[in-house]
Structure 1
Amino acid sequence: MTYLNIKIYSQAFRMTFIMLFVALLFSFQGNKSMMAMVIDSFSNDKPIAADRDHIKSVILHRVGFELSDPIIRLYSGEKLLLAFDDLEDEVKSYDYTIVHCNSNWEPSDLMTAEYIDGFSNDRISDYQFSLNTTTSYIHYELIFPTDYLRLTKSGNYIIKVFENNNQNEPAFIRTFSIVDPEIKIEASIKPPLALKSKLEKQEIGFKIILKNLYIPNPAASLKIIIRQNNRDDNMITDINPVRNQGDILDYHFNNKSIFYGGNEYRALNIKSLKYKAININSIDYLRDGYHVSLLEDKPRNGNNYAFENDLNGKKLIKTEDDENSSTEANYCWVHFKLQAIPELLDKDIFLTGALIEGMPNEATKMVFNPANNCFDGLLLLKQGYYDYQYIVKENGELAGSILLTEGSHYETNNEYSIFVYYRDPGSVYDQLLGFEKIIGPNN
């Protein structure tokens, strides 16, 4: 008898819909090629949804905190807001389901009923039509967890939104986490010890205070992940403590948690289409809607560091032209332009930041235009404020480099997120026991 049959047989008393969901979930476990049927690509094993073309402006954050990460505390009563626009002008029956994942974003071995108290999927019933916009759309919102779907385990999760009860072809997928803060993390940003790295890199030093948690073998039981500005392509994993002092694990100067400092993000302000904000060359209304053309961006490698307030790669959907940004903000075609210096001519250049809704891909790739000696890009964006940068990707590498396009400085203010996962011996899933965010080095 197979493992799947044993699991289903032993739980035969459970409701049929739970059994079917488990069978579907199991078919994805441990097999990335099969998971790819639902998830388009992986970035360091993190799933990124292949959004349908008509799905735009997906946001996921803690309720009441528009720029927050999609992370809530277990049993805290905190909730997440998921919102998105459908550019097709027909109301659809969107449902969602939630899948518990391990630290590597593969579905865990937990049964659905072990991490969900209530129904395994539910309907997204809150929607509004756009009002007086040049591009018609329907705006959907969901606040969760709900009274009918409660989450009972810490760790990583994916939320999968689909229509017509077809979970195999989701409209989009997003990720979030639930932390059960049983440990304390103290962290700081310092220059690396190596002299040649001090001017352009940042090292994340931190220690973990276990409190009352006993972990005999931290190197085997803990997994540390550090993300810079919510990027997944350059996140750092597999960090071991330098010193174990009983209830304190010291990770300072481990020679692993080192990032290029990069540069402050470039700004795109299209909160109003009635005037030209900084870096905007023109705003035109054509047959297919608004077109916003930016001034020519210059590569910043070799420039001195200059401080700029930014959102560390985030976006804020907002219109100043009307009252309700959710339904009255317009969509516009934004034309990006990056000067093509000789060092970039044989490189693949991509836009990056929250404006691209995931990992860099063909849709966000800049195209060389010999007529203006620039790399050109085009995105359909909702009114708001967006951070963006240009990155170089070579030979199919996962991590993008900002050295040629943006430069790198130790002084750059960056946002670092530290995740600490723990797997209890004999357990079948990874708990998220600690999360800490630091911004610096200038804050």
Structure 2
Amino acid sequence: MINPFFRSFKIVLLLLMPFIINAQVQQETPPPYNIKTVSFRQNDENVYPFFKLGESFQLTFDDLFGNEANYYYSLTHCNYNWTPSSQLSINDYIEGFDNQRIQNYQNSFNTLQIYSRYTLSLPNKFTRILLSGNYMLKILNEDREVVFTRKIIIYENQVSVPMQVKRTRNMEHREEKHNLDFSIKTEAITFQSPLQNVKVALFQNGRLDNAVYNIKPQYTIGNDLIYRYDKETQFWAGNEYLYFDNKDIRNAVNNVLRITAGEIYNNILYTNEARANKPYTYFPDINGNFFINNTRLNVENVNLESDYAWMFFSLKAPAYFGKQDIYVCGMFNNYAKTEEYRMEYDRETATYKKAIMMKQGFNNYMYVAADKRGVINEEDAIDGNFYQTENDYTILVYYRRNSERYDRVIGIGSANSENIIN
């Protein structure tokens, strides 16, 4: 006979299950092997996933199967902490419908590697986003199974966020860290309980994997919120990104050591050495970004006529062997720490190696050490931390009035460490 207590507990658990599931933090699902070159774009350029409410943007990706498969999309509004906004229905934050098929796709031509390129534009005739906030964008297959997901943040311009990148006051890390001093100013909003209702998220080069959250205002002056912390708003500065340029996929130039032929081209890169114990050297980068390019004659559409190649990365960093995994990361793979990008250690040469299929063009990349959970070891970064490093910094401001049902994003601020001050 079933104990009445356990019967009651089971019923309560079943009733609560939808709320428990709904409260789960939404994590990005990396794409499978056949999906490549996923990027958000505006004005034909790759951009960070932060968009003003009402402005248009695109998500593009290539499917290496090249079979014109059907893909669909859906959007989920989320709270500041990336749990679904349970008090909103889809009709609250979308005008029209989601779960629609991506209708804009084209096939590659004049390439060794075939692929179909998909473009999702938002807003479109089916879907318009009505509210600011965090969104999880899901790409689904024909069976409505999730293929991959990406986070986007939609903001309003209700507040200004003046900010300045400074060297840290902590003498121990003065040569290695950047500190963000900023404030939130507005005449459009009178903040209710700002210590509880105003939240911020701080980003370095548009990355979500090392963002800083849950920083409260240090103090207020009238309606202005002031953040002048010594530790809480700091980032490890890192180093300038490494790069290669294979827009001429058949010639070994721009950090490509040599080319070999196969079903597609193999581009072997020069071996990199860990730079943590070397002096800082300035060279311009694009802060982890990439752009597709092809210098072959008579190319009309670089997005469809640019080929894929196997890029062979190698890294001399024997001190990390047996301690942490090392990954090749950048905007080209959304800084994913997956097996596809995890390097393997060659004992004979004491070198980490990895082959990754990538679309030709100019690519920034970095080597990231992380534990089995994907937690990054930024303090002991492979290429070191130098306050001279040039980084983009972005701050997004969230606000929920006492009577509101969701977290709005009411403003954005940006600065670059090129203008760093003491």
Residue 180 (structure 1) aligns with:
156
Q: Is the 2:24–2:84 contact (alpha carbons within 8 Å) kept by the matching residues of 1?
A: no
Residue 242 (structure 1) aligns with:
218
Residue 89 (structure 1) aligns with:
66
Q: Which structure 2 residues correspond to residues 106-145 of structure 1 after superposition, within 5 A?
A: 106-109=83-86, 110-145=88-123
SS in structure 2 at match of 1:434: strand
CA distance in 2, matches of 1:187, 1:357: 26
Q: Is the 1:183–1:433 contact (alpha carbons within 8 Å) kept by the matching residues of 2?
A: yes
5+ residue gaps, structure 1, are: 1-23, 33-45
CA distance in 1, matches of 2:46, 2:312: 25
Q: Is the 1:337–1:376 contact (alpha carbons within 8 Å) kept by the matching residues of 2?
A: yes
Deviates more, 1:203-212 or 1:358-367: 358-367
Residue 286 (structure 2) aligns with:
311
**1:278 is the counterpart of 2:245:** no
Out of 358, 361, 371, the residue aligned to residue 381 of structure 1 is 358
Q: Give 1:184's aligned amino acid.
A: S
**1:69 is the counterpart of 2:44:** no
**1:53 is the counterpart of 2:46:** no
SS in structure 2 at match of 1:171: strand
CA distance in 2, matches of 1:93, 1:81: 18
List per-residue Cα deviations over 1:261-307 (Å, max 9, x = no partner).
11000012122213222221111111x31111111100001211111
Change (3 A) 1:305 1:74: same
CA distance in 2, matches of 1:293, 1:82: 30
Aligned length: 401
Q: Is the 1:102–1:155 contact (alpha carbons within 8 Å) kept by the matching residues of 2?
A: yes
Residue 11 (structure 2) aligns with:
none
Residue 43 (structure 1) aligns with:
none
| TM-score, with length taken from structure 1 | 0.86
Q: Which has the higher contact order (CA 8 A, sep 6+)?
A: 2
SS in structure 1 at match of 2:91: helix
CA distance in 2, matches of 1:289, 1:397: 31
Q: Is the 1:411–1:442 contact (alpha carbons within 8 Å) kept by the matching residues of 2?
A: no
SS in structure 1 at match of 2:208: coil
Residue 367 (structure 2) aligns with:
390
Percent identical: 28
Out of 210, 227, 231, the residue aligned to residue 251 of structure 1 is 227
Q: Is the 2:50–2:154 contact (alpha carbons within 8 Å) kept by the matching residues of 1?
A: yes
Q: Is the 1:241–1:254 contact (alpha carbons within 8 Å) kept by the matching residues of 2?
A: no
CA distance in 2, matches of 1:340, 1:359: 20
Q: Is the 1:189–1:440 contact (alpha carbons within 8 Å) kept by the matching residues of 2?
A: yes
Deviates more, 1:274-283 or 1:398-407: 398-407
Residue 23 (structure 2) aligns with:
30
Q: Which structure 2 residues correspond to residues 317-356 of structure 1 after superposition, within 5 A?
A: 317-321=292-296, 322-356=299-333
List per-residue Cα deviations over 1:42-95 (Å, max 9, x = no partner).
xxxx6212312211111112x3051322332223xx211111111113222222
1:323 to partner: Cα distance? 3.0
CA distance in 2, matches of 1:175, 1:347: 27
CA distance in 2, matches of 1:357, 1:194: 31
Q: Give 1:351's aligned amino acid.
A: V
CA distance in 2, matches of 1:27, 1:60: 31
CA distance in 2, matches of 1:183, 1:303: 42
Q: Which structure 2 residues correspond to residues 361-376 of structure 1 after superposition, within 5 A?
A: 361-376=338-353
List per-residue Cα deviations over 1:84-125 (Å, max 9, x = no partner).
111113222222121111122222121000111112332211
Change (3 A) 1:26 1:324: farther
4+ long deviations beyond 6 Å: 24-27
CA distance in 2, matches of 1:292, 1:440: 33
1:426 to partner: Cα distance? 3.1
1:387 to partner: Cα distance? 1.0
CA distance in 2, matches of 1:298, 1:284: 23
Out of 180, 183, 190, the residue aligned to residue 166 of structure 2 is 190
Change (3 A) 1:148 1:27: farther
Q: Give 1:297's aligned amino acid.
A: N
**1:155 is the counterpart of 2:133:** yes
Out of 216, 238, 254, the residue aligned to residue 262 of structure 1 is 238
Q: Is the 2:39–2:46 contact (alpha carbons within 8 Å) kept by the matching residues of 1?
A: no
Deviates more, 1:125-134 or 1:230-239: 230-239
List per-residue Cα deviations over 1:390-426 (Å, max 9, x = no partner).
1211363523426341011111001111111111113
1:31 to partner: Cα distance? 2.9
Q: Is the 1:190–1:441 contact (alpha carbons within 8 Å) kept by the matching residues of 2?
A: no
CA distance in 1, matches of 2:407, 2:191: 14
| TM-score, with length taken from structure 2 | 0.90
Change (3 A) 1:396 1:173: closer
Q: Give 1:436's aligned amino acid.
A: G
